[in-house]
Structure 1
Amino acid sequence: MTTDRRVLVHPDKDSLAGAVAARFITKIIDILDENDEAHVVLSGGSVNTAVLAAIRNSPAQNNVDWKRISFWWGDERFVEAGSSDRNDGQAREALLDHIPLDEAKVHAFASSDEIPDIDEAAASYAAELEAAAPDGQRYPRFDIMFLGVGPDGHIASLFPGLSGITETEKTVIPVLNSPKPPPLRLSLTLPVIRSADRIWLVMAGSDKASPLGLALAGASIEEVPAAGAEGRKRTVFFVDQDAAAEVPENLIAPSY
């Protein structure tokens, strides 16, 4: 796979969130100028939630035709609806409940009280992906996919040392033994992640320096799943100064 990978460094978490928000608004407007619709995959975590809040607070977001965007998630905690652990709840509070979107295009994973069986919940989301896909495909064309990266290098709920990172047949998997609580999760698989046109990994904090450095150095995906995150057109690591501590100078883009 050939992809344009770059690292953009910002002074701190707040400036990082603001810069990613501004870039998202600009890019999604461009995408909607060229296409009838757009598909965006959201991520949980404090930094990505801060990005969504910054989008909400930007006056420029009023220029986005939100009703033409379908929202998906890269993973979800398999807990009851309304739990503060759920990524979709965090995204709604930060952005989705405050913009004029089409609710039919908000594709949240099932909660544990909606579909109690986690395998059925995974199959349900896989079916939802396929229903929105072009003929003959198993999932939509994702224009932008947001990902967070854990201190252990995990992306979505694909963790080092677990079999999920090497799954190639299924599009959605149940995760039964997440090393990070809660233990039950649902996740897109790596082939689906890598189908996105643009992958934006947003990272802040010194605990992200090692996984970022290893991912860029070509570590194995089994050890550092983030190393496998490559978009079809572009892969951008948006990071703060602390997270960039182990990034070689030649990989840092002066501007974007």
Structure 2
Amino acid sequence: MIAPLVEVHADAAALATSVAGELLVRLADAQEAGRDPQIVLTGGTIADALHHELARLSPGSEVDWTRVVVWWGDERFVAADSPDRNAGQARRAFLDAVGATQVHEMPSTDDGADVEAAASAFADVIHQHGSDEFEVVMLGLGPDGHVASLFPGFPQLEVDDRVAVGVTGSPKPPPERISLTFGALNRSRALWVIASGDGKAEAVAAALDVEGTVHDTPARGAHGRHETTYFLDREAASHL
């Protein structure tokens, strides 16, 4: 496994701008090479800032968003119009503005299935429309070290025969979620963990420590095939 890279920025705003710019470069390069890149988005405060920067910077880039296939690492299993949904946030912040057309949202409670059936249905969508690997997977990092909806000590950390799983009893609301597994997340050319604020500093340090377990700090189990990078602001990096 390639050791993670660490890139530190002055503050959350600089972090969001840098990651947005780097993503646009990666997508343009992939399209120039003849690929239709597939990416995995995340949710949260820093993701929202990143998405607004993508909306601002995309008009000056060479990215054709109609050729970008969009997925999410996890989603809250709530109503489709719930403000808690990562997909709704991303659509409002940038996806609709840049004209993305190949957008695969995870199921909602409106679809009438329970969370496990919904995860299974989404796995079928990935098998149908996914590629051999994602171009870039972006993950937020919880203060407890979780990524996507893979929480410390939860059985989903051990799942290796499915690409998507249902999660119940989430330690942070809402309690039901759908998450990609490590087997899916790690099928990526580049995997980026993006963290901002001193509330994430201990989790960042635990994730990058030479010692530790995935069960204690799930972020340790997330890595790309060619690159794993932690994009941090100074506060998130303060315990390194």
Using structure 2 for the length normalisation, give the TM-score: 0.96
> Which residue does the alignment assign to 1:106?
103
CA contact (8 A) 2:165 2:178 kept: yes
Q: Quote how far apart the aligned CAs of 1:49 are.
A: 1.6
Matched, 1:170 2:162: yes
> Which residue does the alignment assign to 1:238?
231
- What is the rounded CA distance, in whole Å, between the counterparts of 1:59 and 1:177 in structure 2? 38
* Identical amino acids, percent of aligned pairs: 37
CA contact (8 A) 1:164 1:175 kept: yes
Q: Quote how far apart the aligned CAs of 1:116 are.
A: 3.1
- Aligned pair in 2 of structure 1 residues 120, 59: CA closer, same or farther (>3 Å)? closer
Q: Deviation string for 1:19-75 (max 9, x for gaps)?
A: 111111111101111133110000011101211110101155542111111000000
Aligned pairs, how many? 239
- Aligned pair in 2 of structure 1 residues 61, 82: CA closer, same or farther (>3 Å)? farther
> Which residue does the alignment assign to 2:128?
131
> Which residue does the alignment assign to 1:8?
7
Matched, 1:36 2:46: no
> Which residue does the alignment assign to 1:153?
145
For structure 2, the residue ranges without an aligned partner over 5 or more in a row are none
Match of 2:113 among 96, 108, 116: 116
Q: Deviation string for 1:116-145 (max 9, x for gaps)?
A: 3212111111000100245xxxxx410000
Match of 1:210 among 189, 202, 215: 202
* Equivalent position SS for 2:110: coil
CA contact (8 A) 2:24 2:58 kept: no
- What is the rounded CA distance, in whole Å, between the counterparts of 1:85 and 1:207 in structure 2? 21
The 10-residue stretch of structure 1 (111-120 or 161-170) with the greater mean CA deviation from structure 2: 111-120
For structure 1, the residue ranges without an aligned partner over 5 or more in a row are 135-139, 248-256
- What is the rounded CA distance, in whole Å, between the counterparts of 2:36 and 2:199 in structure 1? 37
Q: Deviation string for 1:178-228 (max 9, x for gaps)?
A: 001000000000111111110011100101111111111142000000111
After superposing on structure 2, the runs of 4+ consecutive aligned residues of structure 1 that deviate more than 4 Å are: 59-62
Matched, 1:195 2:187: yes
CA contact (8 A) 2:147 2:218 kept: yes
- What is the rounded CA distance, in whole Å, between the counterparts of 2:32 and 2:40 in structure 1? 19
- What is the rounded CA distance, in whole Å, between the counterparts of 1:127 and 1:199 in structure 2? 23
* Equivalent position SS for 1:125: helix
Q: Quote how far apart the aligned CAs of 1:4 are.
A: 4.8
Matched, 1:24 2:23: yes
Q: Quote how far apart the aligned CAs of 1:89 are.
A: 0.4
- Aligned pair in 2 of structure 1 residues 111, 59: CA closer, same or farther (>3 Å)? closer
